[in-house]
Amino acid sequence: MALTDHNDVFIGSTGDGHTFVVLNRPIRNAARYLTAAGFTAREHQGRTLYLLPPEAAQDAHERAGIAVYGLMAHTLDLVDLAWTTRQHGAGAATEWPEVAIRFADGTVTATTTTDSAHAILLQHGFAPAGAEGQYELPPGSGERDALGAVVRAEAHLYTDGLSVRIDLGLATVQDIPPVRPRPGAAPTPPSAAPAKRSSH
Protein backbone atom coordinates (compact mmCIF):
# COMPACT_ATOMS: atom_id res chain seq x y z
CA MET A 1 0.00 0.00 0.00
CA ALA A 2 1.26 3.47 -0.87
CA LEU A 3 1.23 6.52 1.39
CA THR A 4 -1.57 7.98 -0.70
CA ASP A 5 -3.87 4.94 -0.19
CA HIS A 6 -4.73 5.03 3.53
CA ASN A 7 -7.54 7.59 3.52
CA ASP A 8 -10.70 8.20 1.52
CA VAL A 9 -9.17 11.46 0.24
CA PHE A 10 -5.47 12.30 0.07
CA ILE A 11 -4.27 15.77 -0.91
CA GLY A 12 -0.59 16.28 -1.59
CA SER A 13 2.00 18.24 -3.54
CA THR A 14 4.70 17.09 -5.90
CA GLY A 15 8.18 18.55 -5.72
CA ASP A 16 7.55 20.58 -8.86
CA GLY A 17 4.52 22.30 -7.30
CA HIS A 18 1.48 20.39 -8.55
CA THR A 19 -1.34 20.01 -6.05
CA PHE A 20 -3.05 16.63 -6.42
CA VAL A 21 -6.07 14.86 -4.97
CA VAL A 22 -6.41 11.07 -4.83
CA LEU A 23 -9.81 9.49 -4.11
CA ASN A 24 -9.54 5.97 -2.70
CA ARG A 25 -13.24 5.22 -2.77
CA PRO A 26 -16.18 6.52 -4.78
CA ILE A 27 -17.48 9.75 -3.24
CA ARG A 28 -20.74 11.24 -4.42
CA ASN A 29 -20.27 14.37 -6.53
CA ALA A 30 -16.49 14.36 -5.91
CA ALA A 31 -15.60 15.04 -9.54
CA ARG A 32 -18.05 17.95 -9.62
CA TYR A 33 -16.64 19.48 -6.40
CA LEU A 34 -13.06 19.17 -7.62
CA THR A 35 -13.54 20.39 -11.19
CA ALA A 36 -15.72 23.29 -10.01
CA ALA A 37 -12.80 24.32 -7.76
CA GLY A 38 -10.45 24.33 -10.75
CA PHE A 39 -8.88 20.86 -10.55
CA THR A 40 -8.38 18.95 -13.81
CA ALA A 41 -9.03 15.19 -13.96
CA ARG A 42 -6.21 13.06 -15.38
CA GLU A 43 -5.95 9.29 -15.74
CA HIS A 44 -2.73 7.96 -14.22
CA GLN A 45 -1.76 4.31 -13.77
CA GLY A 46 -5.24 3.00 -13.08
CA ARG A 47 -6.53 5.92 -11.06
CA THR A 48 -7.99 9.35 -11.67
CA LEU A 49 -5.94 12.20 -10.25
CA TYR A 50 -7.27 15.71 -9.80
CA LEU A 51 -4.56 18.29 -10.43
CA LEU A 52 -3.81 21.96 -10.01
CA PRO A 53 -0.73 23.11 -11.95
CA PRO A 54 2.17 24.91 -10.23
CA GLU A 55 1.01 28.22 -11.70
CA ALA A 56 -2.07 27.98 -9.46
CA ALA A 57 -0.01 27.73 -6.26
CA GLN A 58 -1.02 31.16 -5.01
CA ASP A 59 -4.71 30.25 -4.95
CA ALA A 60 -4.35 26.51 -4.29
CA HIS A 61 -5.31 27.15 -0.66
CA GLU A 62 -8.65 28.64 -1.69
CA ARG A 63 -9.34 26.11 -4.46
CA ALA A 64 -8.56 23.12 -2.25
CA GLY A 65 -10.66 24.60 0.55
CA ILE A 66 -13.69 24.85 -1.75
CA ALA A 67 -13.27 21.23 -2.86
CA VAL A 68 -12.67 19.92 0.67
CA TYR A 69 -15.79 21.67 1.95
CA GLY A 70 -17.86 19.69 -0.53
CA LEU A 71 -16.02 16.39 0.04
CA MET A 72 -16.39 16.62 3.83
CA ALA A 73 -20.14 16.41 3.44
CA HIS A 74 -19.49 12.76 2.46
CA THR A 75 -16.34 11.76 4.40
CA LEU A 76 -14.15 13.02 7.23
CA ASP A 77 -11.40 10.53 6.34
CA LEU A 78 -9.32 13.16 4.57
CA VAL A 79 -5.63 14.05 4.81
CA ASP A 80 -4.09 17.22 3.38
CA LEU A 81 -0.28 17.25 3.39
CA ALA A 82 0.10 19.57 0.40
CA TRP A 83 2.49 22.43 1.08
CA THR A 84 0.86 24.28 -1.81
CA THR A 85 -2.46 24.49 0.03
CA ARG A 86 -1.04 26.28 3.05
CA GLN A 87 -1.81 29.97 3.09
CA HIS A 88 1.87 30.74 3.50
CA GLY A 89 2.76 27.60 1.52
CA ALA A 90 3.34 29.31 -1.79
CA GLY A 91 5.78 31.71 -0.15
CA ALA A 92 7.66 30.99 3.04
CA ALA A 93 7.02 27.25 3.25
CA THR A 94 8.16 26.77 -0.34
CA GLU A 95 11.40 28.70 -0.04
CA TRP A 96 12.37 28.73 3.62
CA PRO A 97 10.22 26.42 5.75
CA GLU A 98 11.01 26.44 9.44
CA VAL A 99 10.32 22.70 9.47
CA ALA A 100 10.81 20.31 6.54
CA ILE A 101 9.38 16.80 6.85
CA ARG A 102 10.37 14.18 4.28
CA PHE A 103 9.12 10.71 3.41
CA ALA A 104 11.84 8.67 1.67
CA ASP A 105 12.76 5.00 1.44
CA GLY A 106 10.51 3.94 4.31
CA THR A 107 11.80 6.61 6.70
CA VAL A 108 10.32 9.90 7.86
CA THR A 109 12.73 12.67 8.78
CA ALA A 110 12.30 16.24 9.94
CA THR A 111 14.74 19.14 9.78
CA THR A 112 14.13 22.40 11.59
CA THR A 113 15.83 25.77 11.70
CA THR A 114 14.13 26.85 14.93
CA ASP A 115 14.22 25.65 18.53
CA SER A 116 10.47 26.28 18.75
CA ALA A 117 9.80 23.06 16.81
CA HIS A 118 11.86 20.80 19.09
CA ALA A 119 9.24 20.05 21.76
CA ILE A 120 6.45 19.68 19.19
CA LEU A 121 8.39 17.13 17.14
CA LEU A 122 9.26 15.14 20.27
CA GLN A 123 5.64 15.22 21.39
CA HIS A 124 4.56 13.60 18.13
CA GLY A 125 7.05 10.75 18.17
CA PHE A 126 10.11 12.18 16.41
CA ALA A 127 13.50 11.57 18.02
CA PRO A 128 16.74 13.53 17.57
CA ALA A 129 18.85 12.03 14.78
CA GLY A 130 22.38 13.04 13.86
CA ALA A 131 23.11 16.74 13.72
CA GLU A 132 21.28 19.46 15.61
CA GLY A 133 17.87 20.20 14.17
CA GLN A 134 17.46 16.73 12.62
CA TYR A 135 14.79 14.27 13.74
CA GLU A 136 13.40 10.93 12.65
CA LEU A 137 10.38 8.78 13.41
CA PRO A 138 11.52 5.48 14.95
CA PRO A 139 12.35 2.78 12.41
CA GLY A 140 9.61 0.19 12.17
CA SER A 141 6.73 2.63 12.50
CA GLY A 142 4.01 1.37 10.22
CA GLU A 143 3.20 3.57 7.24
CA ARG A 144 -0.27 4.43 8.57
CA ASP A 145 1.15 5.28 12.03
CA ALA A 146 3.89 7.42 10.46
CA LEU A 147 1.31 9.23 8.34
CA GLY A 148 -0.80 9.91 11.45
CA ALA A 149 2.22 11.23 13.35
CA VAL A 150 3.11 13.60 10.50
CA VAL A 151 -0.48 14.85 10.18
CA ARG A 152 -0.63 15.62 13.91
CA ALA A 153 2.86 17.21 14.03
CA GLU A 154 2.18 19.36 10.95
CA ALA A 155 -1.12 20.61 12.37
CA HIS A 156 0.51 21.41 15.73
CA LEU A 157 3.44 23.22 14.10
CA TYR A 158 1.11 25.18 11.83
CA THR A 159 -1.09 26.15 14.80
CA ASP A 160 2.02 27.50 16.54
CA GLY A 161 2.76 29.69 13.52
CA LEU A 162 5.66 27.64 12.14
CA SER A 163 5.91 27.15 8.40
CA VAL A 164 6.10 23.50 7.33
CA ARG A 165 6.82 21.84 4.02
CA ILE A 166 6.13 18.15 3.63
CA ASP A 167 8.06 16.33 0.92
CA LEU A 168 6.17 13.19 -0.02
CA GLY A 169 9.10 11.94 -2.10
CA LEU A 170 7.14 12.58 -5.32
CA ALA A 171 9.15 14.79 -7.64
CA THR A 172 6.50 14.96 -10.37
CA VAL A 173 2.96 13.76 -11.05
CA GLN A 174 4.46 10.71 -12.82
CA ASP A 175 5.84 9.55 -9.45
CA ILE A 176 2.40 9.28 -7.81
CA PRO A 177 1.90 5.56 -7.13
CA PRO A 178 -0.53 3.53 -9.24
CA VAL A 179 -3.90 2.48 -7.90
CA ARG A 180 -3.60 -0.24 -5.29
CA PRO A 181 -4.69 -3.73 -6.37
CA ARG A 182 -8.18 -4.67 -5.24
CA PRO A 183 -8.51 -7.73 -2.98
CA GLY A 184 -8.83 -10.82 -5.12
CA ALA A 185 -7.34 -9.07 -8.14
CA ALA A 186 -4.00 -10.81 -7.78
CA PRO A 187 -3.36 -13.54 -10.33
CA THR A 188 -4.17 -16.98 -9.00
CA PRO A 189 -1.41 -19.56 -9.11
CA PRO A 190 -1.78 -22.10 -11.91
CA SER A 191 -3.65 -25.21 -10.80
CA ALA A 192 -2.16 -28.62 -11.09
CA ALA A 193 -2.11 -29.99 -14.60
CA PRO A 194 -5.28 -31.91 -15.37
CA ALA A 195 -5.03 -35.66 -15.39
CA LYS A 196 -4.51 -37.12 -18.83
CA ARG A 197 -7.43 -38.98 -20.27
CA SER A 198 -6.81 -42.57 -21.03
CA SER A 199 -7.22 -43.47 -24.66
CA HIS A 200 -9.19 -46.50 -25.69
- Whether residue 147 contacts residue 137, with contact meaning beta carbons closer than 8 Å, is answered with no
Burial pattern 108-121, b for ≥16 Cβ within 10 A else e, equals bbbbbeeeebeebb
Asked if the model's pLDDT at residue 113 lies above 50, the reply is: yes
Alpha-carbon distance 151 to 155, whole Å?
6
Lowest mean pLDDT among 72-86, 128-142, 176-190: 176-190
> What are residue 12's phi and psi, to 5 degrees?
-145, 180
- 186's CB contacts (< 8 A; 6+ apart) are none
pLDDT digits (tens, 9 = 90+) for 64-109: 889 999 999 999 999 999 998 876 544 444 467 899 999 998 899 9
> What are residue 21's phi and psi, to 5 degrees?
-125, 130
Half-sphere exposure of 110 (CA within 13 A, CB side): 31
Q: What is the pTM of this model?
A: 0.82
Q: What is the DSSP letter of 33?
A: H
Residue type, 173: V
pLDDT classification of 198: cutoffs 50, 70, 90: very low
- Whether residue 11 contacts residue 55, with contact meaning beta carbons closer than 8 Å, is answered with no
